[in-house]
Structure 1
Protein backbone atom coordinates (compact mmCIF):
# COMPACT_ATOMS: atom_id res chain seq x y z
CA UNK A 1 0.00 0.00 0.00
CA UNK A 2 1.44 3.34 -0.99
CA UNK A 3 0.19 6.77 0.02
CA UNK A 4 0.27 9.59 -2.47
CA UNK A 5 1.54 12.16 -0.01
CA UNK A 6 2.37 12.68 3.64
CA UNK A 7 -0.83 14.28 4.95
CA UNK A 8 0.49 15.75 8.16
CA UNK A 9 3.91 17.39 8.22
CA UNK A 10 6.14 16.80 11.22
CA UNK A 11 6.81 19.64 13.65
CA UNK A 12 10.45 18.60 13.52
CA UNK A 13 10.81 19.38 9.81
CA UNK A 14 13.15 22.35 9.90
CA UNK A 15 15.41 23.68 7.17
CA UNK A 16 18.90 24.92 8.00
CA UNK A 17 19.66 28.64 7.65
CA UNK A 18 22.43 27.71 5.23
CA UNK A 19 22.07 28.63 1.53
CA UNK A 20 21.23 25.01 0.63
CA UNK A 21 18.59 24.87 3.37
CA UNK A 22 16.96 28.04 2.05
CA UNK A 23 16.96 26.65 -1.51
CA UNK A 24 15.37 23.41 -0.31
CA UNK A 25 12.71 25.40 1.54
CA UNK A 26 11.78 27.37 -1.59
CA UNK A 27 11.74 24.18 -3.68
CA UNK A 28 9.48 22.55 -1.10
CA UNK A 29 7.04 25.47 -1.21
CA UNK A 30 6.94 25.25 -5.02
CA UNK A 31 6.18 21.53 -4.85
CA UNK A 32 3.39 22.20 -2.33
CA UNK A 33 1.85 24.65 -4.82
CA UNK A 34 1.96 22.03 -7.60
CA UNK A 35 0.47 18.95 -5.92
CA UNK A 36 -0.89 17.72 -9.26
CA UNK A 37 2.63 16.47 -10.06
CA UNK A 38 2.13 13.76 -7.44
CA UNK A 39 -0.56 12.15 -9.60
CA UNK A 40 2.00 11.63 -12.36
CA UNK A 41 4.48 9.97 -10.00
CA UNK A 42 1.78 7.89 -8.31
CA UNK A 43 0.70 6.55 -11.70
CA UNK A 44 4.28 5.43 -12.44
CA UNK A 45 4.67 3.76 -9.06
CA UNK A 46 1.45 1.76 -9.35
CA UNK A 47 2.01 -1.52 -11.09
CA UNK A 48 -0.50 -4.11 -12.29
CA UNK A 49 -0.97 -6.93 -9.82
CA UNK A 50 0.18 -4.99 -6.73
CA UNK A 51 -2.33 -5.47 -3.94
CA UNK A 52 -3.69 -2.58 -1.90
CA UNK A 53 -2.77 -4.34 1.33
CA UNK A 54 0.53 -5.17 2.94
CA UNK A 55 3.49 -3.14 4.06
CA UNK A 56 3.47 0.56 3.27
CA UNK A 57 5.93 1.80 0.68
CA UNK A 58 7.46 5.26 0.40
CA UNK A 59 4.74 7.82 -0.35
CA UNK A 60 4.78 9.10 -3.92
CA UNK A 61 5.55 12.58 -2.60
CA UNK A 62 8.66 11.29 -0.82
CA UNK A 63 9.77 9.43 -3.96
CA UNK A 64 9.48 12.57 -6.09
CA UNK A 65 11.26 14.69 -3.51
CA UNK A 66 14.07 12.12 -3.08
CA UNK A 67 14.51 12.00 -6.87
CA UNK A 68 14.76 15.79 -6.97
CA UNK A 69 17.32 15.75 -4.14
CA UNK A 70 19.39 13.18 -6.01
CA UNK A 71 19.47 15.31 -9.16
CA UNK A 72 19.79 18.65 -7.37
CA UNK A 73 22.88 17.59 -5.40
CA UNK A 74 24.22 15.11 -8.03
CA UNK A 75 24.26 12.23 -5.54
CA UNK A 76 24.53 8.50 -5.99
CA UNK A 77 21.81 6.39 -4.37
CA UNK A 78 24.21 5.42 -1.59
CA UNK A 79 25.07 9.07 -0.89
CA UNK A 80 21.38 10.00 -1.02
CA UNK A 81 20.56 7.31 1.55
CA UNK A 82 23.30 8.68 3.83
CA UNK A 83 22.16 12.31 3.52
CA UNK A 84 18.53 11.36 4.14
CA UNK A 85 19.58 9.66 7.35
CA UNK A 86 22.09 12.33 8.39
CA UNK A 87 20.67 15.71 7.32
CA UNK A 88 17.64 17.30 8.96
CA UNK A 89 17.14 19.60 5.97
CA UNK A 90 17.15 16.67 3.54
CA UNK A 91 14.64 14.76 5.71
CA UNK A 92 12.43 17.85 5.96
CA UNK A 93 12.49 18.30 2.19
CA UNK A 94 11.88 14.61 1.43
CA UNK A 95 8.89 14.47 3.83
CA UNK A 96 9.84 10.98 4.91
CA UNK A 97 7.50 9.35 7.42
CA UNK A 98 8.85 9.60 10.97
CA UNK A 99 11.59 7.06 11.66
CA UNK A 100 12.01 5.99 8.03
CA UNK A 101 15.48 5.88 6.49
CA UNK A 102 15.23 4.29 3.06
CA UNK A 103 18.17 2.22 1.87
CA UNK A 104 19.85 2.72 -1.49
CA UNK A 105 18.07 -0.27 -3.06
CA UNK A 106 14.64 1.12 -2.13
CA UNK A 107 15.59 4.56 -3.43
CA UNK A 108 16.88 3.07 -6.68
CA UNK A 109 13.79 0.92 -7.20
CA UNK A 110 11.30 3.73 -6.57
CA UNK A 111 13.13 6.66 -8.20
CA UNK A 112 13.94 4.67 -11.34
CA UNK A 113 10.23 3.79 -11.66
CA UNK A 114 9.52 7.40 -12.64
CA UNK A 115 9.27 7.35 -16.43
CA UNK A 116 11.02 9.78 -18.78
CA UNK A 117 7.62 11.06 -19.94
CA UNK A 118 6.76 11.98 -16.35
CA UNK A 119 10.03 13.89 -15.97
CA UNK A 120 9.22 15.72 -19.18
CA UNK A 121 5.78 16.69 -17.84
CA UNK A 122 7.33 17.88 -14.55
CA UNK A 123 9.87 19.89 -16.53
CA UNK A 124 7.10 21.52 -18.57
CA UNK A 125 5.20 22.55 -15.41
CA UNK A 126 8.42 23.95 -13.93
CA UNK A 127 9.21 25.90 -17.09
CA UNK A 128 5.67 27.28 -17.33
CA UNK A 129 5.86 28.39 -13.70
CA UNK A 130 9.27 30.02 -14.22
CA UNK A 131 8.01 31.77 -17.36
CA UNK A 132 4.93 33.04 -15.48
CA UNK A 133 7.08 34.36 -12.60
CA UNK A 134 9.50 36.00 -15.05
CA UNK A 135 12.45 33.94 -13.85
CA UNK A 136 13.19 31.99 -17.04
CA UNK A 137 11.92 32.08 -20.60
CA UNK A 138 13.14 28.64 -21.59
CA UNK A 139 14.44 29.84 -24.95
CA UNK A 140 18.05 28.77 -24.23
CA UNK A 141 19.13 25.37 -22.97
CA UNK A 142 22.41 24.57 -21.25
CA UNK A 143 23.56 20.97 -20.99
CA UNK A 144 26.21 19.36 -18.86
CA UNK A 145 27.59 15.92 -19.57
CA UNK A 146 29.43 13.38 -17.50
CA UNK A 147 32.69 11.80 -18.61
CA UNK A 148 33.11 8.13 -17.83
CA UNK A 149 36.06 5.81 -18.22
CA UNK A 150 35.90 3.65 -21.35
CA UNK A 151 38.13 1.32 -23.30
CA UNK A 152 38.78 3.93 -25.97
CA UNK A 153 42.22 5.38 -26.61
CA UNK A 154 42.70 9.12 -26.61
CA UNK A 155 42.59 10.35 -30.21
CA UNK A 156 45.86 11.84 -31.38
CA UNK A 157 46.80 13.06 -34.86
CA UNK A 158 48.88 9.97 -35.59
CA UNK A 159 46.18 7.54 -34.44
CA UNK A 160 43.53 9.42 -36.41
CA UNK A 161 45.72 9.23 -39.52
CA UNK A 162 46.24 5.49 -39.04
CA UNK A 163 42.47 4.98 -38.50
CA UNK A 164 41.67 6.99 -41.64
CA UNK A 165 44.12 4.97 -43.79
CA UNK A 166 42.86 1.66 -42.37
CA UNK A 167 39.20 2.51 -43.01
CA UNK A 168 39.95 3.84 -46.51
CA UNK A 169 41.77 0.62 -47.45
CA UNK A 170 38.88 -1.47 -46.12
CA UNK A 171 36.37 0.54 -48.18
CA UNK A 172 38.54 0.29 -51.30
CA UNK A 173 38.80 -3.48 -50.84
CA UNK A 174 35.00 -3.66 -50.64
CA UNK A 175 34.79 -1.54 -53.80
CA UNK A 176 37.17 -3.97 -55.56
CA UNK A 177 34.95 -6.87 -54.55
CA UNK A 178 32.02 -5.09 -56.21
CA UNK A 179 34.00 -4.66 -59.44
CA UNK A 180 35.47 -1.18 -59.11
CA UNK A 181 38.28 -0.22 -61.52
CA UNK A 182 39.78 2.54 -59.33
CA UNK A 183 43.57 2.11 -59.05
CA UNK A 184 44.89 2.32 -55.49
CA UNK A 185 47.78 1.20 -53.24
CA UNK A 186 47.61 -0.31 -49.78
CA UNK A 187 49.66 1.92 -47.44
CA UNK A 188 48.43 0.32 -44.22
CA UNK A 189 51.81 -1.04 -43.12
CA UNK A 190 53.58 2.28 -43.67
CA UNK A 191 50.83 4.24 -41.88
CA UNK A 192 50.83 1.80 -38.95
CA UNK A 193 54.64 2.00 -38.59
CA UNK A 194 54.50 5.80 -38.74
CA UNK A 195 51.77 5.94 -36.07
CA UNK A 196 53.73 3.63 -33.76
CA UNK A 197 56.93 5.62 -34.29
CA UNK A 198 55.22 8.88 -33.40
Structure 2
Protein backbone atom coordinates (compact mmCIF):
# COMPACT_ATOMS: atom_id res chain seq x y z
CA UNK A 1 0.00 0.00 0.00
CA UNK A 2 1.26 3.46 -0.91
CA UNK A 3 1.94 5.73 2.06
CA UNK A 4 0.65 9.29 1.91
CA UNK A 5 3.26 11.04 3.98
CA UNK A 6 6.74 10.49 5.31
CA UNK A 7 5.99 10.75 9.01
CA UNK A 8 9.49 11.55 10.20
CA UNK A 9 12.15 13.29 8.17
CA UNK A 10 15.51 11.61 7.99
CA UNK A 11 18.36 13.09 9.97
CA UNK A 12 20.38 12.68 6.79
CA UNK A 13 18.22 15.13 4.84
CA UNK A 14 19.67 18.61 4.83
CA UNK A 15 19.76 21.61 2.53
CA UNK A 16 22.96 23.05 1.10
CA UNK A 17 24.07 26.43 2.43
CA UNK A 18 23.67 28.02 -0.98
CA UNK A 19 21.10 30.26 -2.65
CA UNK A 20 19.47 27.30 -4.43
CA UNK A 21 19.52 25.25 -1.22
CA UNK A 22 17.68 28.05 0.58
CA UNK A 23 15.14 28.30 -2.27
CA UNK A 24 14.52 24.56 -2.09
CA UNK A 25 14.08 24.76 1.68
CA UNK A 26 11.49 27.54 1.22
CA UNK A 27 9.64 25.37 -1.34
CA UNK A 28 9.68 22.46 1.11
CA UNK A 29 8.41 24.62 3.96
CA UNK A 30 5.63 25.97 1.73
CA UNK A 31 4.50 22.45 0.90
CA UNK A 32 4.54 21.54 4.60
CA UNK A 33 1.99 24.27 5.26
CA UNK A 34 -0.51 22.64 2.86
CA UNK A 35 -1.00 18.99 3.85
CA UNK A 36 -4.46 19.03 2.21
CA UNK A 37 -2.74 18.95 -1.19
CA UNK A 38 -1.64 15.38 -0.49
CA UNK A 39 -5.26 14.22 -0.52
CA UNK A 40 -5.70 15.57 -4.05
CA UNK A 41 -2.60 13.77 -5.32
CA UNK A 42 -3.49 10.59 -3.42
CA UNK A 43 -6.81 10.45 -5.26
CA UNK A 44 -4.99 10.54 -8.61
CA UNK A 45 -2.49 7.89 -7.53
CA UNK A 46 -4.97 5.48 -5.93
CA UNK A 47 -5.90 4.07 -9.32
CA UNK A 48 -2.40 2.64 -9.59
CA UNK A 49 -2.23 -0.83 -8.01
CA UNK A 50 0.63 -1.17 -5.54
CA UNK A 51 1.23 -4.70 -4.30
CA UNK A 52 0.96 -5.39 -0.58
CA UNK A 53 4.16 -7.41 -0.72
CA UNK A 54 7.50 -6.44 -2.19
CA UNK A 55 8.71 -2.90 -2.70
CA UNK A 56 6.22 -0.18 -1.84
CA UNK A 57 5.50 2.62 -4.26
CA UNK A 58 6.79 6.12 -3.67
CA UNK A 59 4.88 7.91 -0.91
CA UNK A 60 2.30 10.36 -2.24
CA UNK A 61 4.21 13.21 -0.63
CA UNK A 62 7.42 12.22 -2.45
CA UNK A 63 5.62 11.98 -5.80
CA UNK A 64 4.23 15.49 -5.37
CA UNK A 65 7.54 16.90 -4.20
CA UNK A 66 9.44 15.26 -7.09
CA UNK A 67 6.90 16.69 -9.55
CA UNK A 68 7.33 20.17 -8.10
CA UNK A 69 11.11 19.82 -8.18
CA UNK A 70 10.94 18.81 -11.83
CA UNK A 71 8.88 21.85 -12.77
CA UNK A 72 10.61 24.31 -10.45
CA UNK A 73 14.09 23.47 -11.72
CA UNK A 74 12.91 22.79 -15.32
CA UNK A 75 14.66 19.43 -15.62
CA UNK A 76 13.85 16.27 -17.55
CA UNK A 77 12.90 13.01 -15.84
CA UNK A 78 16.43 11.73 -16.56
CA UNK A 79 17.98 14.79 -14.91
CA UNK A 80 15.55 14.60 -11.99
CA UNK A 81 16.55 10.98 -11.36
CA UNK A 82 20.21 12.03 -11.36
CA UNK A 83 19.66 14.98 -9.00
CA UNK A 84 17.67 12.80 -6.61
CA UNK A 85 20.59 10.38 -6.55
CA UNK A 86 23.29 13.04 -6.33
CA UNK A 87 21.92 16.04 -4.43
CA UNK A 88 21.26 16.13 -0.69
CA UNK A 89 19.06 19.19 -1.16
CA UNK A 90 16.89 17.46 -3.79
CA UNK A 91 16.61 14.40 -1.53
CA UNK A 92 15.59 16.62 1.39
CA UNK A 93 12.85 18.34 -0.63
CA UNK A 94 11.58 15.04 -2.07
CA UNK A 95 11.54 13.33 1.33
CA UNK A 96 12.42 10.04 -0.23
CA UNK A 97 12.73 7.06 2.08
CA UNK A 98 16.46 6.29 2.43
CA UNK A 99 16.26 2.97 0.62
CA UNK A 100 14.47 4.39 -2.43
CA UNK A 101 16.11 6.33 -5.25
CA UNK A 102 13.57 6.30 -8.10
CA UNK A 103 14.58 5.79 -11.69
CA UNK A 104 13.43 7.88 -14.63
CA UNK A 105 10.65 5.46 -15.61
CA UNK A 106 9.18 5.35 -12.10
CA UNK A 107 9.24 9.14 -11.83
CA UNK A 108 7.60 9.55 -15.21
CA UNK A 109 4.95 6.92 -14.55
CA UNK A 110 3.93 8.29 -11.15
CA UNK A 111 4.22 12.02 -11.79
CA UNK A 112 2.22 11.77 -15.00
CA UNK A 113 -0.70 10.32 -12.99
CA UNK A 114 -1.32 13.73 -11.40
CA UNK A 115 -4.22 15.20 -13.38
CA UNK A 116 -4.55 18.70 -14.79
CA UNK A 117 -7.50 19.31 -12.48
CA UNK A 118 -5.36 18.39 -9.47
CA UNK A 119 -2.54 20.67 -10.62
CA UNK A 120 -5.02 23.53 -10.94
CA UNK A 121 -6.26 22.95 -7.37
CA UNK A 122 -2.67 22.75 -6.08
CA UNK A 123 -1.83 25.97 -7.88
CA UNK A 124 -4.88 27.74 -6.40
CA UNK A 125 -3.99 26.58 -2.88
CA UNK A 126 -0.39 27.74 -3.17
CA UNK A 127 -1.33 31.07 -4.79
CA UNK A 128 -3.88 31.68 -2.05
CA UNK A 129 -1.16 31.11 0.53
CA UNK A 130 1.21 33.44 -1.32
CA UNK A 131 -1.42 36.21 -1.40
CA UNK A 132 -1.99 35.91 2.35
**Shared fold by TM > 0.5?**
yes
- Report the Cα offset of residue 8 of structure 1: 1.0
- In structure 2, stretches of 5+ residues that fail to align are none
Q: What TM-score, normalized by structure 1, do the two folds share? A: 0.64
Give the equivalent residue in structure 2 for 1:102: 102
Deviations 1:113-155, CA, capped at 9 Å, x for gaps: 00000000000001111111xxxxxxxxxxxxxxxxxxxxxxx
Deviations 1:94-122, CA, capped at 9 Å, x for gaps: 00001211000000000000000000000
Moved runs in structure 1, 4+ residues, more than 4 A?
none
**Bigger relative contact order (CA 8 A; separation at least 6):** 2
Give the equivalent residue in structure 2 for 1:60: 60
Give the equivalent residue in structure 2 for 1:8: 8
RMSD of aligned residue pairs (Cα, Å): 1.2
Contact 2:65-2:93 at 8 Å conserved across structures = yes
Aligned equivalents of 1:123 and 1:51: distance in 2? 27
Choose 1 or 2 for highest CA Rg.
Answer: 1
Structure-to-structure mapping, 1:31-110, within 5 angstroms: 31-47=31-47, 50=49, 53-54=52-53, 55-110=55-110
Structure-to-structure mapping, 1:1-198, within 5 angstroms: 1-47=1-47, 50=49, 53-54=52-53, 55-132=55-132
Aligned equivalents of 2:97 and 2:71: distance in 1? 21
Q: What TM-score, normalized by structure 2, do the two folds share? A: 0.95
